[in-house]
Every structure is written in C-alpha cells, then in structure tokens.
Structure 1
C-alpha cells in the first residue's frame, strides 16, 4: 500500500510539473505591464502575446495622416527554450473595424483609415532557442540593449522591418521557415547571423550594418536581397551558401562574399 501511495504521489507531481510548463500569454503581458522582470525557461506560451497594448501606450505626435501609438517594455524579457503557440506582436496595423490588416502574411501599407501600434524595449531582450509557431511582429521596434534571438525557429514570417538595434544583436543558428523581413533595419552594434538558415525570401534591402555583421556558414535557400544594403568593413560571408538568387546591387557587400 505504501508503494502504491508513493507511485500515485509521483504521478501527481509529474502531472503538476507538466501543467506548470504551460503559461498564458495574458499572464506574461500582465507581469510586463506591472514592470515585473520576465524570465522563463522551457515553457509553452498559450495565446497571443500582444505587447502593443501596455498601459504606458502613448500617441505619437507626427504629421502622418494616420494615428500611431507606441508602447514601451521597461523590464528585461528573457525566454529560453520556450515555444510560443500564438503570435508575438510588438507591431500591428488596424483598420477602422479593428482588424489586423495583412494579406498572406504581408502587412498592407499604411493609410488614412488605419492605426499603427508598435513597441520599444529599453532593457535586454532574449528569445534564445525558442520556437515561434505564429507570426512574430517587431516592425518599428527599438531595442535599446542586447537583442538575443539566437537558436530560435520562426515557423511563420519574422517581421523586423524598420527595427532599430542599438546594442549587440544575435540571430545565430536561426531557422527562418518563411519570409524574413529585415528591410530598412538599422544595426548600430555588431550583429550575428552565423549558421542561420533562410528557407524563404530573406529581405535585407536598405538595411544598415554600422559595426559589422557575420553571415558565416549561413544558408540562403531562396532569394537573398541585399540591394542598397550598407555594410561596414567587419562583414563576413565566409562559407555562406546562396542556393537561390541574390541581389547586392547598389550595396557595398558583394566584395565580402567568398565562395
């Protein structure tokens, strides 16, 4: 009887441990909104994590014909070995009816009938060895410190268009299954895409690498777009595979590519 009790207790403990591995996106949002530091390892995040609706959201004063709001994550955000079942949103563009405007994963251009929401990060941001099963939207985000996405898998589009990385950034070992959008992205410090794999369109058009970038041993399976891209002298494409087409027109990066 004693052995049976121990066995039943062990099953209950295992069940509780398993249940604790699931965390709601809502609870994470609420913690961030209360300025509580976020640190998770090995959890499954259920639901959409929308960081554009924080209580510190402010309307930006601009001359554009559309409304624009900015939220700010003011605490370190650390996720390691986590799986996000829903979308992770630090950017969205809503039409008048309140619906996100997109077609086949590509956001519609802004217009008078839309409102944009985006999110900045003032502390370290870590999504290390994670899996994004939904969309990941970081368009217009400013990363003030370290941005570590190394070893992460993006199952859907990864949108970093116009993102500004002020500190060191890492996307080493990443798998981009669909559109990887870094168009107009600005990198002040060093950035790493070592061993990164791009299965679909890799868009670095107009991106600016101020202090070096490494695509060493990277793999581009479809079109790699570096048109108008600005590289510094510390650029590394050593052992990078371009299995599809590539475009370095009007950039200063072709001279760094070694076959």
Structure 2
C-alpha cells in the first residue's frame, strides 16, 4: 500500500514540475531570432522574454531599395511567419531606423533629421503573417514604412514606449484589439486595405491617425483616448465604428472623408 501511495506521489510531483516548466518564461536572445529568420525558419515563441534589441533591418537579404534625396535606403524582408504569444520584449523592436554617414543613430521617433549630412534609412517588410499577441513591449516599437503582406495581430499587447506605425501598409487584416499604449500611438498615413480592429484600446497619450486610410471597415468601439485623438484628413471608405468611445482630451475629425465615418461617435 505504501509503495502504491509513493508511486502516485511521484507521478503528481512530476506533473506539477512539468506544469511549472511549461508556464515559466524562458529567455531568448534577439540575435538568435534574427539568425533564425536569416536561415528562413519560421519563428514561434510563447511565454518567452526577448533579451536585447530585435533589429529586423539588418537581415542577410538587405538590399538597396532606392536613393532618395541623396540618402541611401536599405530594405530587409522578413520572409517567414513571426509568432510571439505572451512574450516580453526588454529592448526595442526595430523595423525602421536612420543612421548618419558615420553609422550613428539619428532618429527613431518619426521624421528623418536633416542637417546636411548623409543619412541612411533602414526599413523592413514582412512577407508572411506577423503575430504579437498578448505581448509586452518595454522599449520602442518601430514599424515606420513597413509593408505587411499577410495578416497582422498585436491584439492584447501593451506598448510602454512610443509605438510607431507611420506610413505602414497593411495589405490584410490588422488586429490591435484590446491593446494598451502608455505613450503615443502613431498611425499617421498608415494604410489599412482590409478589416482593422482597434476596439477596446487604451491610449494614454497622443493618438495620431491623421491621413490614415481605411479601405475596409474599422472598429474603435469601446476605445478610450486619454490623450488627444487626431483623425484629421483620415479616409474611411467603409464604416468606421466608434460606439461607446471615450475622448477624454478632445478629437479632430476635420476634413475626414467617408459618409459613414461618424457612426456612433461621441
């Protein structure tokens, strides 16, 4: 009888240890992820902490895209699916950066700086699905100028610093539902060619959707804009739903286009 009870106890302990191991977060180097992408291997991580800056602009397939205004421009392409669930990114996630002629960083927050020196623009596009669900971004998220060929999801994710999707082109569905931004959310000039979901977002600072283009439907239902919400010149080809939205610091829909963009807007 004692032997049987001892065996049962061992089984229970083993199950408990397995469950603990499955829920514990592993630590993964951002450099290891880049190397996997360069080997054309799909990336799929859950319950992981990503250490270091995940720089997607320096992939092995990096090419000169064009020369604009005398400045060099390089484009990398992520050719494999990226899936991150319940992950924490300790450093920046970079698909856009600007360096000067000496290789020093010029800007990661919006426009390219111009002081007469040569500047080099680095960006990254995504050929497959991109999933960052229920993730925490402790650093910057820079996706300015990125083209997303397949579906994108940042649902339930938290951005602790500026989230930059300026000029991003989403060719398939884009899910940002239940996302939280403790800083600015920049989607200025972004183009959403399929359904876009920003429902139940919480944006603490300035929300920039100025000149954003929504080809298909978009939902901002139950979203809270704690900072100013700028939709000036935005274009809504189909219905933009703003049911139960809270604009706590004002909004601007001046020159916004689309006959139904004001649906249930407060």
Q: Does 1:183 align with 2:188?
A: yes
Instruction: Pick which of 229-238 and 132-141 moved more.
Output: 229-238
Tell me the CA shift for residue 65 of structure 1.
1.8
Q: Any residues of structure 2 matched to 1:44-193 within 5 Å, and which?
A: 44-102=49-107, 106-111=109-114, 112-193=117-198
Tell me the CA shift for residue 95 of structure 1.
1.6
Q: Aligned partners of 2:74 and 2:217: how far apart in 1?
A: 32
> Number of residues paired by the alignment?
251
Q: Does 1:24 align with 2:23?
A: no
Q: Aligned partners of 1:86 and 1:139: how far apart in 2?
A: 17
Output the aligned Cα RMSD.
Answer: 2.2
What are the Cα deviations for residues 31-79 of structure 1, in whole angstroms up to 9, with x where unaligned? 0111000001110001100000000000012443210000000000000
1:200 maps to which of 191, 194, 205: 205
Q: Aligned partners of 1:32 and 1:99: how far apart in 2?
A: 25
Tell me the CA shift for residue 98 of structure 1.
1.8
Q: Aligned partners of 2:29 and 2:192: how far apart in 1?
A: 32
1:101 partner SS: strand
CA pair 113-151 structure 1, distance change in 2 beyond 3 A = same
Q: Aligned partners of 2:133 and 2:93: how far apart in 1?
A: 15
Alpha-carbon contact 1:101-1:107 (below 8 Å) kept: no
Instruction: Pick which of 79-88 and 231-240 moved more.
Output: 231-240
Alpha-carbon contact 2:27-2:50 (below 8 Å) kept: yes
Tell me the CA shift for residue 12 of structure 1.
9.4
Alpha-carbon contact 1:101-1:108 (below 8 Å) kept: no
Alpha-carbon contact 1:25-1:49 (below 8 Å) kept: yes
1:26 partner SS: helix
Q: Aligned partners of 1:16 and 1:127: how far apart in 2?
A: 22
Give 2:265's aligned residue: 258
Q: Does 1:230 align with 2:232?
A: no
Alpha-carbon contact 2:214-2:238 (below 8 Å) kept: no
Runs of 4 or more above 4 Å deviation? 9-20
Give 2:3's aligned residue: none
CA pair 59-15 structure 1, distance change in 2 beyond 3 A = same
2:37 partner SS: helix
Tell me the CA shift for residue 141 of structure 1.
0.3
Tell me the CA shift for residue 29 of structure 1.
0.7
2:235 partner SS: coil
Alpha-carbon contact 2:170-2:194 (below 8 Å) kept: yes
CA pair 217-66 structure 1, distance change in 2 beyond 3 A = same
Q: Aligned partners of 1:234 and 1:178: how far apart in 2?
A: 27
